[in-house]
Chains A and B, each alone.
Chain A
Amino acid sequence: EDQVTQSPEALRLQEGESSSLNCSYTVSGLRGLFWYRQDPGKGPEFLFTLYSAGEEKEKERLKATLTKKESFLHITAPKPEDSATYLCAVQAVGLDNFNKFYFGSGTKLNVKP
């Protein structure tokens, strides 16, 4: 069964304290892995797409990496404005070769000044 698991559920960091969020997945026919940021009351905001093991993407203080079983979102020297829920989604081959998305339950990050 296709599944996406994120850990930890919640993470509290001090400003400047680097850490990593994990997304492990089991899907057949992986097409891509996506990271989204979600602020309260808003929809998921696209951050990164990773397509193959070994691939890395960076944006400001965020860096996403991918292996065959999991992805990490590394946050370097976070700031309070990085506080949000970070969602991982896996794109797999669905019906008639169309894409299907499976989401993890998210990691709620709180960065304290």
Chain B
Amino acid sequence: EAGVTQFPSHSVIEKGQTVTLRCDPISGHDNLYWYRRVMGKEIKFLLHFVKESKQDESGMPNNRFLAERTGGTYSTLKVQPAELEDSGVYFCASSLRTSGSRDTQYFGPGTRLTVL
């Protein structure tokens, strides 16, 4: 069974440019999460989808970040315009179960974003 995949693995852009990250969850997983790890800090929650709906976006830093999950399959995270502090590793995770139950999240390899 294929795991969570993310694309690209690395992205280097200049301040002010736009970048789109993609995540393909494990097949059949309704829950999809985005996380970010900035240098020296812990992994922090950004957003949670249940199928195509945004269940919790309380971790999104500001309105320069836009996440979508069309059709409840893969998800994209767009940063526009990118700022220096957006640099970090963006992880995607997916899980099978829904609310009120125990749930294991499986992570992708991450996308390393560098904003110059």
> Once bound together, how far apart are the Cα atoms of A97 and B4, in whole Å?
24
Residues of A within 8 A of B (CB): 4, 31-32, 34, 36, 41-46, 49, 51, 87, 89, 91, 94-106
CB distance from B57 to the nearest CB of A (A): 10
Return chain A residues, CB-CB under 8 Å to B105: 34, 46, 101
Q: Tell me whether A94 and B56 are in contact (CB under 8 A).
A: yes
CB distance from A37 to the nearest CB of B (A): 11
Instruction: In the A-B complex, list the 3 residue pairs whose CB atoms are closest, starting with the nearest.
Output: A43-B107, A105-B42, A103-B43
Return chain B residues, CB-CB under 8 Å to A98: 48, 50, 55-56, 98-99
Q: Tell me whether B42 and A104 are in contact (CB under 8 A).
A: yes
Residues of B within 8 A of A (CB): 4, 6, 33, 35, 41-45, 48, 50, 55-56, 58, 91, 95, 98-100, 102-110
Q: Which among A49, A91, A98, A102 has the highest number of chain B CB atoms within 10 Å?
A: A98
> Once bound together, how far apart are the Cα atoms of A36 and B99, in whole Å?
22
